[in-house]
Amino acid sequence: MIDTAHLDTLTQLLGRDTINQIRLEYIEDSHEKLAQLLQAWDAKDYSELKQVSHSLKSASLNMAMSVFAKQCQQIEQSASQHNEQGMQAIIDTLPSLHTLSLQALKRYFSDFD
């Protein structure tokens, strides 16, 4: 779900407190972006879907949420081609995958306490 080796490296480089602060900012930002992505899907706004999924993918990769980022990348690619096929299934599971990924991230940080 998350790339713990990547998080270990970030923690060593930047410190636990800094990475945890970035995590807290990511949580807030990713909830907003996920809502934007779902609204863009409902509106079939492919330009917005591409932009928001790209942003969410990049931020998620920075927080080592590799599985979630991969799904965002698939949405980004499909949106750039205006290809709805298969996107519905990804979008339907994205909120729960986001929640599971955030829980894994929280567990990683709770190991420090």
CATH of 4-110, one of 1.10.510, 3.40.1440, 1.20.120, 3.30.70: 1.20.120
- Joined tokens for residue 102: 């955030």
pLDDT at res. 109: 87
pLDDT in tens, 44-63: 999 999 999 999 999 999 99
Q: Where are the domains of the chain?
A: 4-110
> Tens digits of per-residue pLDDT, 15-40?
989 999 999 999 999 999 999 999 99
pLDDT, residue 86, reads 77
In whole numbers, what is the pLDDT of the chain averaged over residues?
93
Residue 70 pLDDT exceeds 60: yes
Pair 34, 56: CB distance under 8 Å = yes
How many helices (H) and strands (E) are present in the chain, helices listed first?
Answer: 5, 0
pTM, two decimals, is 0.92
Distance CA 60, CA 2 (A): 10
> Which residues contact residue 82 at a Cβ distance below 8 angstroms, ignoring those fewer than 6 apart?
46
